[in-house]
Chain A
Amino acid sequence: MSKLLHVEDLNIEFHDHLIPETVVYDFDLDMEPGEIVGLVGESGSGKSMSALAVAGLLSRHDMKKRGVIEFEGKNILSCSRSELRELQGDEICMIFQEPLTSLNPVKKIGWQVEEGLKIHTDMSPEERKKRAIKALEDVEIEDAQRVYDSYPHELSGGMRQRVMIAAATIGNPKLLIADEPTTALDVTVQSQIVELMKKINREKKTAILFISHDLSLVSALCERVLVMKGGYVVESGSVKEIFESPKEEYTRKLIDAIPKCGSTEDLVENGEPLAGMKDINVSFIKRKGKNKEKVHVLKDISLDIYEGEILGLVGESGCGKSTLAKTLLGLIKPDTGHVSAKFPNTQMIFQDPYGSLNPSKTVGFIMEEPLRNLTDKTPEERYALSKEMIEKVGLSEEFLQRYPSELSGGQRQRVCIATALMLGPKLIIADEPVSALDVTIQAEVLKLMMKLHMEMGISFLFISHDLRVVHQMCDRIMVMKDGEIVESGDRVKIYENPSHPYTKELLKSAGLGPGGVK
């Protein structure tokens, strides 16, 4: 059987600067029909660029491509736009990382799912609709008829990604390119999407090029893996080979970065709670037209955080984790109940390091802000303290002059942590502090938090949906579902012997569970 895809010596250069910048060097890839290949690497490693080039979507005029990309013997790089269009959406389809923004917000789902058929076939509208509903059902959307008539904003992230998959597979493409399709999703949804892609591969014999920075997902789905770094393919081989005997230092680093369980020393709980809440109820009034709906977000929550511990709070998005954090900090006033946390002894780090720093202020200004507002320290003292803190989080003094836009995601989160340290807190509430970061950078930020915990004795309330990260970091764990704490206790107890069905489900979808590490 002939090759489906043959890529040889692919080089991609950007020409928008004075000196051309090469982002992909000598990329080789061969795919057989029906094969699943994983492409792993950090952001900026060139994996998305290579994939976009294969899909014929790199058409910017400031970009130069050299090499061969043959799809069923046809050279994609020398194709005209109209020849390319024949393939795109018909033989080669793509799924993108952000299901929230990859769908057109003002078009109905049905219209978008059918679009490929409209372009590439001459089916009648009725026939197209039938196929679209079938495609939606194939991706396990139960209420396909209703979803067909919905708009993207009416669906959850996971549902939108299913819709994207339905739209990409409606014309039975020979090659499906999935560019980080699960990164923006909850961990339970992630495993469902991976299962779905396996099913499509099995039933429709679609070859899949699966791009991800998450080696554990790739290992669950793919047969073969290519590891990319700095534009080069540094290693390739079967999943088994790569995992068991990684040849490159970088591959080993990626494997080590998969959070593993059972690596923290247990810290003994001390008697006196540092902060806590008792019988907290929080509800919001949600207006929907005339009807006011009361949404009960937190239900009878009681918890204590002890000095010197890291308390993990896990649960899916929307379960009330962030509301709990904000209530503890005093940003939300509870309906009933009592909160005992003292500001400024309690500080918070937020999920999105891109959005939570004011882009028009320097890092130094942002860091000194709490001191300016709450203390009467002189400018020199303020500067000295921010210098000390920025060095504590592993950045140098010169970062104080920079603007947030000049920093990477990991550096920004370090700045957020340094800012939280400025007032000498005893407790830091970290709300999904690493979810927006690459996996290797995640590991570094987690290491930093661990270091601060050990050296400065800071307690953490660590909020996350990633059970592996929580297991690595925390002493005690609380599991939250729909505004209630369904289970809490010692880390080992929860991971070895979960009692609540929801905890079991969470552990299972994270590839964990009784028995420990996968």
Chain B
Amino acid sequence: MKYVLKKLLSCIITLFIVSFLVFAAFALIPGDPALSKLGTNATQAALDAMRHKMGLDRPFLVRYFTWLFDAVRGNFGNSYSYSMPVASLILDKIPITLTLMVYSMILMVVISVPAGVYASYKEDTPVDRVIQIANQIVMAIPPFFSGILITLFFGIVLKLFTPGGFVSLNANPLKFLGFMFFPALAVALPKSAMVFNLLYTSLNGEKKKDYVRTAYSRGNRSKTVFFSHMLKNASIPTITFLGMAFADMIAGSIIIEQVFGIPGLGRILLTSIQNRDYPVVTGIIMLIAVTVIISNMIVDIIYKIVDPRVDA
């Protein structure tokens, strides 16, 4: 418990630093939100007035701390282009993107772990080789392309879902989940190939370890040696990768949302960057940072549970 609290504290400090960097980056990069809001024909006076109204003429640190204190209370300011609070804009979309991410994560584990264990169990047999080849192919296909293939195959040929026919969670939860399965699969496939590879390699590495020989010398069945001795040891590097993959998925989902026409965070992020809608962009980046930091923290905690050698 103390370990968790300590991790939490270090996360908060990290977040604070990230928030400063993000805010500073948007204050430093060229481009004027007032200009992009009023258009290039606006007079200097109108621009100055707009800057004043948006609070852009105040000193940088004042702006940062005003924003920070508001942000801590859940107020990320108003979007320039959507003219609504950033918080509610993002909150609307979080369930969609989060579902996509969690869904992909589950698919990733469900696909890669059994495949990795099975292939390693059957090392150097034809079954193993077939899985290896399939894995190479899947790994080589980027998500946006597998997204297109999935749309073509499951959507148009098999008609299992309507391409572009997004159903919102509130309208029909079941249909929503049904639709989301396919983009989640597209995100999950290449990553599960990597998880598979990692697990397969570390399982095969464990086979040569001395403690495995010890386990056999006690009269264990091969299956028991595999599941009760090796799997936990081999899962240690895999857990690290799963954590990184989850954090990475939020970026991957931006592209997939475009391919499948899902109105998630990715779409707002892209339009807001084009419109120099900085409050929205900062808000989303902070959200990504929080996701990354939290998933890292969870990995650290799982790590500690799985591997007793990790120091508190």
> Which A residues contact B (CB, under 8 angstroms)?
55, 57, 84-90, 93-94, 96, 98, 101-107, 115-116, 119-120, 151, 153, 164, 167, 288-289
Contact A57 B216 (CB under 8 A): yes
Contact B309 A96 (CB under 8 A): no
Give the interface segment out of B85-93, B112-120, B144-152, B205-213.
B205-213
Which residues from A are CB-within-8-Å of B306?
106
Query: Nearest chain-A residue to B235 (Cβ)?
Result: A106
Query: Nearest chain-A residue to B2 (Cβ)?
Result: A289
Which residues from A are CB-within-8-Å of B308?
105-106, 151, 153
Other than the given A86-B219, A93-B218, A101-B209, 20 more pairs (CB < 8 A) read A55-B217, A57-B217, A88-B216, A88-B217, A88-B219, A90-B219, A93-B217, A94-B217, A96-B214, A102-B214, A104-B214, A105-B211, A105-B233, A106-B309, A107-B229, A107-B232, A115-B220, A116-B218, A116-B219, A288-B311
14 contacts between A and B (CB under 8 A): A85-B219, A88-B217, A101-B211, A102-B211, A103-B211, A104-B215, A105-B308, A106-B232, A106-B307, A106-B308, A115-B220, A119-B220, A120-B219, A153-B309
Contact A89 B309 (CB under 8 A): no
Q: How large is the interface on B (under 10, 10 to 19, 20 to 34, 35 or more residues)?
A: 20 to 34
Q: Shortest beta-carbon distance, A397 to chain B, in Å?
A: 35
Q: Shortest beta-carbon distance, A360 to chain B, in Å?
A: 20
C-alpha gap A374/B307 in the complex (Å) = 44
Q: Is B312 an interface residue (CB 8 A)?
A: yes
Given the contacts A104-B233, A106-B233, A151-B308, A115 and B213 also touching, CB distance less than 8 Å: no
Q: Shortest beta-carbon distance, A226 to chain B, in Å?
A: 21
Q: Is B221 an interface residue (CB 8 A)?
A: yes
Q: Shortest beta-carbon distance, A430 to chain B, in Å?
A: 29
Which residues from B are CB-within-8-Å of A151?
308-309
Q: Shortest beta-carbon distance, B215 to chain A, in Å?
A: 7
> Which B residues contact A (CB, under 8 angstroms)?
209-211, 213-221, 224, 229, 232-233, 306-309, 311-312
Query: Nearest chain-B residue to A167 (Cβ)?
Result: B218
Given the contacts A94-B214, A102-B214, A115-B218, A289 and B309 also touching, CB distance less than 8 Å: no
Q: Shortest beta-carbon distance, A448 to chain B, in Å?
A: 32
Q: Shortest beta-carbon distance, B224 to chain A, in Å?
A: 8
C-alpha gap A106/B216 in the complex (Å) = 17
Given the contacts A106-B233, A151-B308, A153-B308, A101 and B210 also touching, CB distance less than 8 Å: yes
Q: Shortest beta-carbon distance, B306 to chain A, in Å?
A: 7
C-alpha gap A434/B75 in the complex (Å) = 68
Query: Nearest chain-B residue to A287 (Cβ)?
Result: B311
Which residues from A are CB-within-8-Å of B220?
85, 89, 115, 119
Contact A85 B221 (CB under 8 A): yes
Contact B214 A103 (CB under 8 A): yes
Which residues from A are CB-within-8-Å of B218?
88-89, 93, 115-116, 119, 167
Contact B210 A96 (CB under 8 A): yes
For the complex of A and B, list the 4 residue pairs with the smallest distance between their C-beta atoms, beginning with the closest.
Answer: A89-B218, A89-B219, A88-B219, A101-B210
Which residues from A are CB-within-8-Å of B307?
105-106
C-alpha gap A93/B219 in the complex (Å) = 9
Contact A105 B309 (CB under 8 A): yes
Q: Shortest beta-carbon distance, A94 to chain B, in Å?
A: 4
C-alpha gap A103/B214 in the complex (Å) = 7
Given the contacts A102-B211, A105-B211, A289 and B217 also touching, CB distance less than 8 Å: no
C-alpha gap A473/B209 in the complex (Å) = 37
Which residues from B are CB-within-8-Å of A98?
210
C-alpha gap A320/B247 in the complex (Å) = 44
C-alpha gap A287/B209 in the complex (Å) = 30
C-alpha gap A164/B218 in the complex (Å) = 11
C-alpha gap A167/B219 in the complex (Å) = 13
